[in-house]
Amino acid sequence: MSSSAAIWAASKGGALSPLSLSSAELAFGTAVTLNIVGATAGSALSSSDLPMGWTLNSAARTISGTPNKRGSIAFSITETLAGKANSPKTTALGLFVADAAPSATALASAIDGAIGRGIRPRNERIAVIGDSIAYGNSFSASATNVKLYAKGYLNWASFLGRQRWSFRNQDNFGGSGDNTNDVILRIDAALAATTAGTVVLDCLTNDGPNGISLAQSKTNYQLLIAKILESGKVCICITPRPRDITASSLTMTATQYRDHLARRDFVLGLHNPGAGIYAVDMWRYLADPASANGAMRANFSYDGLHPGVLGGYWGGKALAELLGTGRGHGLFPFRDVLPGQNSDVFNASYPRGCVNSNPMMQGGTTAATGYTVGGGSGVTATGSKASPPSGRTDIQQIVLGGTGSAAGDVFDFYQTISAGNLAVGDVVEAFAEVEYDSLSGLTSHGLTLVDTGNFSNIVGFLVDSTDINAMPFVLPEPVQGVMRTPRLTLSSTTLRAGMKGRSINGQAVACTYRVGAMSVRKVI
């Protein structure tokens, strides 16, 4: 058959198929030739919007060029063939360009440098970079409305570790929907923007659903680790989370889910404390062992992927095993951030003293001297004094009950701090030693500071009242630790510090907790 006859035969009937490329992920600065897949024999290919410097060879069915820009590249290729009903057909295509994975020598060099510096973090601050689960550790409605979420695993870990390390809202570099490709584009700016000595890397959960191959995930992740080590920081790698592959917005194919599981194994294999690389397996705490679809345990998430309060707690517990819990050993040494007696108070010669009175909860019968037991929106609060097993006497106990009559924020135990120790422009933060026997029927509960001269000026720990996905939760076991609020810049000289929860209309509340100490200090 002549070539013209072959072309005529191929063009009879049917339609032109969509085109694709032999690879969609390229290394920055590396010349490449990509095959155009799906073209019909005898057709002509053309493009009017190829990246600058790239060429298309219609006969060879290839495009060639050198990527000189990181990020996504969009263009189209038009296929023309006489006799096809949909000719000419234009297919929109795209490429993603990132730095190449570090060579074995380069990665080894970064690890050697980390070993030379030693494995301990250089300060007590932790930053996080990753996807929406990382972002969910904190929320900032404005510069004066900052909350550390109860669903955030970093906050639960810091609570269980008694605040031996600190996480601040400005050190949260999470991005909604981000995958490893996205984080590669942001990592340099994030590392330059934080002085934290430790970085939590949490960005593998979205790779599979975004079509990133297992091999590319590994390449990307190793590059990110190398960048963190080269910046002089310790790297904590978080395994991807379970995700229900049957949920409508979270679906994955069987192959993608197989690779999702392989990413977990990959992260666990990176654990190298001598190099400053630590792996934390949250999967084992979060996964439902009976699920055939990769789901989290019941009530651990609100959509099959993003942790609620319970998912945050168990994820935080996994992280705290590495960082340190209670007064035990961990990556960060224990340091007591609480006062030891009521003499630890603010004055001109000791500006770091507590600006609140009676930080050790002494005196009184239903409420410690200087404090108020509150309640509202159907939630009742009953105060008493208690003696915990620790041997201390006369600490504050609160029992919450009732049924929420509205969805509202309720202070159940607090102190109002007036002018005298405070001035406009002061920066303050609060700490509280808290132990819960039980907690159910609220969307959140925790330590909060409110500038009562401007009620929009509020910071809180374990407070997520602005979360549209807030759901009632039941703590799975008694817990104890230390809460710490974000820093608050005062716009007035009156301040309320205390424990606050959020009720749910029609939801029964049951909670017993104790406060051993509460301190509000100026940040000097």
Task: Report the pLDDT value the prediction gives residue 459, as an integer from 0 to 100.
Answer: 63
Do residues 43 and 157 both lie within one domain? Answer: no
Do residues 144 and 286 both lie within one domain? Answer: yes
| 282: its two tokens | 């949250």
Q: Does some domain include residue 267?
A: yes
Do residues 131 and 18 both lie within one domain? Answer: no
Q: Which of 98, 125, 160 delimits the end of a domain?
A: 98
Following DSSP, what letter does each residue of 24-91 receive, concatenated?
A: SEEETT--EEEEEESPPTT-EEE-S-PPTT-EEETTTTEEEE---S-EEEEEEEEEE-TT-TT-SEEE
Q: Which residues of the chain have pLDDT under 70?
A: 1-13, 71, 99-119, 139-151, 248-250, 388-393, 419, 454-473
Model pTM greater than 0.95? no
Do residues 77 and 114 both lie within one domain? Answer: no
- 238: nearest Cα among 267, 209, 270: 267
User: CA quadruple 210, 213, 214, 218: dihedral positive or negative?
Assistant: negative
Q: Does some domain include residue 359?
A: no
- 162: nearest Cα among 4, 22, 378, 320: 320
Q: Does some domain include residue 36?
A: yes
Task: Report the pLDDT value the prediction gives residue 111, as an integer from 0 to 100.
Answer: 54
Q: Does some domain include residue 340?
A: no
Task: Report the pLDDT value the prediction gives residue 2, as an integer from 0 to 100.
Answer: 43
SS (H, E, C) 457-519: CEEEECCCCCCCCCCCEECCCCEEEEEECCCEECCCCCEEEEEEEECCCCCECEEEEEEEEEE
Domain count, the chain: 3
Do residues 289 and 434 both lie within one domain? Answer: no
Cβ-contact 34, 62 below 8 angstroms: yes
CATH of the domain at 482: 2.60.120
Q: Does some domain include residue 473?
A: yes
The C-alpha atoms of residue 87 and residue 79 are separated, in whole angstroms, by 7
**C-alpha 74: how far from chain center:** 30
Task: Report the pLDDT value the prediction gives residue 137, as an integer from 0 to 100.
Answer: 80
Task: Report the pLDDT value the prediction gives residue 112, as an integer from 0 to 100.
Answer: 53
The C-alpha atoms of residue 324 and residue 335 are separated, in whole angstroms, by 11
Task: Report the pLDDT value the prediction gives residue 7, as an integer from 0 to 100.
Answer: 41
The answer to whether the peptide bond before residue 88 is cis (omega within 30 degrees of 0) is: yes
Task: Report the pLDDT value the prediction gives residue 110, as an integer from 0 to 100.
Answer: 55
The C-alpha atoms of residue 383 and residue 411 are separated, in whole angstroms, by 13
Do residues 169 and 258 both lie within one domain? Answer: yes
Residue ranges making up the domain that contains 287: 104-323
Q: Which of 29, 64, 98 delimits the end of a domain?
A: 98
Do residues 133 and 199 both lie within one domain? Answer: yes
Q: Is 522 helix (H, G, I), strand (E, B) or coil?
A: strand
Do residues 304 and 427 both lie within one domain? Answer: no
Q: Does some domain include residue 354?
A: no
CATH of the domain at 234: 3.40.50.1110
Q: Does some domain include residue 487?
A: yes
Q: Does some domain include residue 126?
A: yes
Do residues 171 and 313 both lie within one domain? Answer: yes
Do residues 88 and 156 both lie within one domain? Answer: no
Do residues 241 and 387 both lie within one domain? Answer: no
Give residue 159's identity as a one-letter amino acid code.
F
Task: Report the pLDDT value the prediction gives residue 420, as an integer from 0 to 100.
Answer: 78
Residue with tokens 């707690």: 313
Do residues 430 and 518 both lie within one domain? Answer: yes
Q: Which of 66, 98, 130 delimits the end of a domain?
A: 98
| 379: its two tokens | 């939630």
CATH of the domain at 89: 2.60.40.10
